[in-house]
Amino acid sequence: MFKRLMFPILVNSVLLISVAGVSGPGQAAALQQKATPPPPAAPASFTVKITYSSKAMDALVKGKETVIVAGYLTASPIPGTPKKYVDHVGEIGLGDVQKEIAPGAVASFAGVKPTAAMMKWVDSSGPQLLINVYSGRKSSPNNLLDCGIYEGSLAAIQGQTIPISCKMIGE
């Protein structure tokens, strides 16, 4: 009886090993990745709270300057993504968001959602977000601020406040 139970298990194991060996490990991983795209990204909401050095705050207020908070949505592509959708750094663009705020204000983003048509090309790590902060160029044609960034998963910041600190360039 033991032999009768073990024989089908051995046959199935040999079949699985031989099928996996035909396509190769890289192709098998690519097929698996293609077959399981990430679920559609739910709209995300988050805030960005900026802190300023005293010199930066003084310069912004004196120059009646604004601050731009810009977010760029990207993703890594799955194998087989058409080259026309992949940029020079190997990512897919999924859209962007931007808020212009007064110094000291908080930038609130609601309903941030990647471009739906591009989600079929996104790998399992899902949409990523890069947030940059710079001056609104009201008092100068150049950016006045040297600010930190946020770079990470869009899903990870859902409902969160992202802290970014800024100082004057050269400070």
Helical ranges in the chain per DSSP H = 2-23, 25-35, 54-62
How far is residue 145's CA from residue 136's CA, in Å, rounded to a whole number?
10
132 shares its domain with 48: yes
49 shares its domain with 27: no
121 shares its domain with 151: yes
- Which of 28, 49, 10, 20 is CA-nearest to residue 163? 49
How far is residue 11's CA from residue 93's CA, in Å, rounded to a whole number?
46
Tokens standing for residue 134: 């710079």
Per-residue pLDDT of the chain (171 residues; tens, 9 = 90+): 444 444 444 434 433 333 344 444 444 444 444 445 555 567 899 999 999 999 999 999 999 999 999 999 999 999 999 999 999 999 999 999 999 999 999 999 999 999 999 999 999 999 999 999 999 999 999 999 999 999 999 999 999 999 999 999 999
27 shares its domain with 54: no
How far is residue 168's CA from residue 24's CA, in Å, rounded to a whole number?
54
Tokens standing for residue 142: 């150049």
141 shares its domain with 59: yes
103 shares its domain with 130: yes
Give the count of domains, the chain: 2
117 shares its domain with 156: yes
* pTM (global) more than 0.85: no
Q: Which domain holds residue 16?
A: 2-35
Q: What is the CATH number of the domain that holds 125?
A: 2.60.40
